[in-house]
Chain A
Amino acid sequence: GENVEQHPSTLSVQEGDSAVIKCTYSDSASNYFPWYKQELGKGPQLIIDIRSNVGEKKDQRIAVTLNKTAKHFSLHITETQPEDSAVYFCAGPAGGGSEKLVFGKGTKLTVNP
């Protein structure tokens, strides 16, 4: 994407461990930060999102944290399971006052049984 950087590009963990993926952005005006999961052969699907008026949001084993000062937001997956294996994308502001979102380059997560 134009102004969104995502790290790492690949991540391998053992089942039951935690996984963390981080994205940074440059446009401080945005207020919406989603995370998408893409399984093989399918389109991406939203798994969690956060707006700038909160610093953290949880949904069962998934959480997203937002640091607006540092301009980064992270996806946390706890107690990972093999079915968590997928490619994860963050999305953030395109910059320049545009409301459209651009996606990070993705993180391929592999959870080893």
Chain B
Amino acid sequence: NAGVTQTPKFQVLKTGQSMTLQCAQDMNHNSMYWYRQDPGMGLRLIYYSASEGTTDKGEVPNGYNVSRLNKREFSLRLESAAPSQTSVYFCASSELLGNTEAFFGQGTRLTVV
């Protein structure tokens, strides 16, 4: 039982490059989330998926897209990376949206140069 698995753990991109962050959970959770964490800003919600087949914008969605590929997997795509997207990204999942424990992955440290 691995919980929430994110790949890659580290990534360096050049401005304008694209990439996809992968996330998978093995807890049969309905809801999944992508957050970014910046110094002094806490965890800010980028996108979330309340259940398989649905996705919604969070607090800071600009510059990102997501895909809920199936119940297990929720990917985050940067189409044209910018230095402002340098951050640590966390994927999380929970049984239900909002009022149950969220389980987090180990994070992806992304640097855009």
Is residue A14 within 8 Å, beta carbon to beta carbon, of the partner chain?
no
For B104, list chain A residues within 8 Å (CB): 43-45
Cα A89 to Cα B92 with chains together (Å): 15
Cα A38 to Cα B64 with chains together (Å): 25
Q: Is A43's CB under 8 angstroms from B101's CB?
A: no
> Smallest CB-CB separation from B48: which chain A residue?
A100
> Smallest CB-CB separation from B105: which chain A residue?
A43
Cα A98 to Cα B57 with chains together (Å): 12
Is residue B43 within 8 Å, beta carbon to beta carbon, of the partner chain?
yes
Q: A42-B106, A43-B106 are in contact. Are A105 and B99 (CB under 8 A)?
A: no
Task: Enumerate chain A interface residues (CB-CB to B < 8 A).
Answer: 1-2, 6, 9, 31-32, 34, 36, 41-46, 49, 51, 89, 91, 93-94, 98-106
